[in-house]
Amino acid sequence: MKNDLITLDNVSRFYGEVLGVNRVTLSMPPGITSLVGPNGAGKTTIMNLVTGLIRPTRGRIRVLGLSPTQSHKLFGLVGYATQFDAFPKGLSGFQFIYSFLRLFGYSNAECKRLANKVIEQVGLSDAAGRKVAGYSKGMRQRIRLAQALAHDPRVLILDEPLNGLDPLVRAETINLFRRYATEGRHVLVSSHVLHEVDMISDQVVLMSGGYVVAEGQIQSVRSEIQERPVKILIHCKQPSLLASKAFEQDHVVEAQLLTEGSGVLITTRDADRFYRLLNHLALSGIDIEGVTPADDNVNSVYDYLIGGEEKMSP
C-alpha cells in the first residue's frame, strides 16, 4: 500500500443504534479533498475516525500508513481543527498555541517561535495576548486553525474551516490550503458551502445520511452519473426549431424556451450524443450563438444525488 494515502476500507461507525457512517471506502491522495454534505451526513464522523478521536465499529483506516490508534505517531504528521467551539479555560491565544506545542516535545524557544509564526499566519497577532474566551466567532475559528497548523503537519484536517471567517481571511485561508496542496500535502476539509469547495477542491467526496454517494474530481463524479439528466443552455436565433429537433431524440427529456426568445434550455440524459446533434444542426443551418453547460458544478451534482436519494426513500 502506498504510504502517501489516507484510506478508509469499508469503515462503519454506529453511535448505539444511530448510524454515523456506513461502509465507507475512500482513498485520498495528496491535494485538497472536500467532504461535502448536509448536517448529519457523516463528514465530522469521517474526520474524527481518521484522527482517532473515535474508533470505527468495523473497517480499517490508515493515514499515511499509520493506524489512527497510534496517536503518538499520527499527530506528528496530522493537524486537526475540529468544529468543537470550546477551549481550555483561562488561556490567551498565544498561551493556547504555545502550551499545546509543548506537548509535541519542542523546546521552549521553538514553541514560542512556532506559536508566534502561526498566530501571525492566521492574522491574530494583535489579539494573541487576549483570553480565547473573549474572542469573536471568527477569531475562535482562526485560533483553531492556528492550533492545527502550528506544528507544520503533512496532513491537515479541517472541519468547516471557513465558517465565520470574513471574506478577506477566507480568501487568505483558501490560498493557504492551495499552497499546502501544491507542496504535496493532504488537506481534508469539510463544508456545506458548496461553491467554495467547487473552487478549491482537487477531489470531492459527497456524503449523505452516513453514506458516500459520490467521490472523485467534480467532472468525473458528474460523468459517472450516467442516468443524471444534464441541462445545457443554447443561445440561438431559432429556439423553437432547435427544441423540436431536439425532441426527436430519445435522450432529450425536456426543452424549455427562454422567455426572451434568445435560446433554449435542453435537459438530456446523454450529453455527448446531444453535443453531436448540435454539431449536425449547426451544419444544417441553425444559427447557434453559444452553448453552456447549465449545471456543471458540485452544487447541481449534489442536488441531484441527494434529491434522488430523498425521492427514493419512502
Partner 1 sequence: MMKLWYGQIVSVVRLEMKKTFFSKRGLWVYLLAFAPVVLYMVHSVYATRQRQHLAQLATEHPISQAAFNGIKTGLSRDQVVAKLGEPYWQRTRYHHGGNGKKRSFVFYRYTDGKNDVSYHFEDNKLTWIHRRDPDTLPKSQLIFATSFQFYFLRLAIFFGCVGIFVNLFRGEMLDKSLHFYMLTPMRREVLLAGKYFAGLLATVVIFTSSTALQWWAMLWQFERGVIVDFLAGPGWIQFGAYLSVTALACVGYGSIFLAVGLLFSNPIIPTAVVLLWESANPFLPPLLKKTSMIYYLQSLCPVTAPPDKNMPPLINLLISPTEPATTLTAVTCIVLLTLLVLVLASRLARKLEINYGTD
Partner 2 sequence: MAVYKQTYKDYSGTRTTPWFRFFILSRYSYARLFKSKFLVLFLAVCMFYPLGCAVFIYLSHNIPLLTALRLRSGAMPPIDGEFFNVYCVVQGALAFLLTTLVGPSLVAPDLANGAMSLYLSRPFSRTQYVAGKMTILLLLLSVITWIPGIVLYLIQAGCAGWDWARVHAWLAGSIVLGLWIWIVVLSLIALALSAWVKWKIAAGALILGVFFAGAGFGVAINNVTRTHYGAFIDLMQVVRTIWSDLFRNGSSADLSVTEAWTVLGVTCGLCLWLLARRIRAFEVVK
Q: Which of 38, 134, 261, 307 binds partner 2 (CB under 8 A)?
A: 134
User: Which three cell numbers, joined as nine digits, stand for 196?
Assistant: 467554495
Q: Where are the alpha helices (DSSP H) in the chain?
A: 43-50, 71-77, 93-102, 108-121, 137-149, 167-182, 194-200, 218-224, 239-247, 271-283, 298-312
311 binds partner 1 (CB under 8 A): no
Least distance to partner 1 from the beta carbon of 58, Å?
15
CA angle 209, 214, 217 (to 5 degrees): 140
CA angle 45, 166, 206 (to 5 degrees): 30
Task: Scan residues 28-57 and list those touching partner 1 (CB under 8 A).
Answer: 48, 51-55
Question: Would you tell me the crossing angle of helices 93-102 and 108-121 to the nearest 10 degrees?
Answer: 130
211 binds partner 1 (CB under 8 A): no
Least distance to partner 1 from the beta carbon of 128, Å?
17
Which residue, 51 or 208, has its beta carbon nearer to partner 1?
A: 51
100 binds partner 1 (CB under 8 A): yes
Least distance to partner 1 from the beta carbon of 16, Å?
9
Which residue, 82 or 300, has its beta carbon nearer to partner 2?
A: 82
Q: Which of 29, 38, 105, 261 binds partner 1 (CB under 8 A)?
A: 105
CA distance 1 to 290: 47
Task: Scan residues 54-83 and list those touching partner 1 (CB under 8 A).
Answer: 54-55, 71-76, 79-80, 82
135 binds partner 1 (CB under 8 A): no
User: Which three cell numbers, joined as nine digits, stand for 170?
Assistant: 477566507
CA distance 178 to 32: 7
Residue 131 interacting partner from partner 2, partner 1, none (CB closer than 5 to 8 Å by kind)? partner 2
| 154, 100, 144, 16 alpha-carbon torsion, rounded to 10° | 90
CA distance 101 to 68: 20
Which residue, 131 or 235, has its beta carbon nearer to partner 2?
A: 131
Least distance to partner 1 from the beta carbon of 2, Å?
23
Cβ neighbours, 10 Å, residue 273? 14
89 binds partner 1 (CB under 8 A): yes
List residues binding partner 1 (CB under 8 A): 15, 48, 51-55, 71-76, 79-80, 82, 84-91, 99-100, 102-105, 147-148
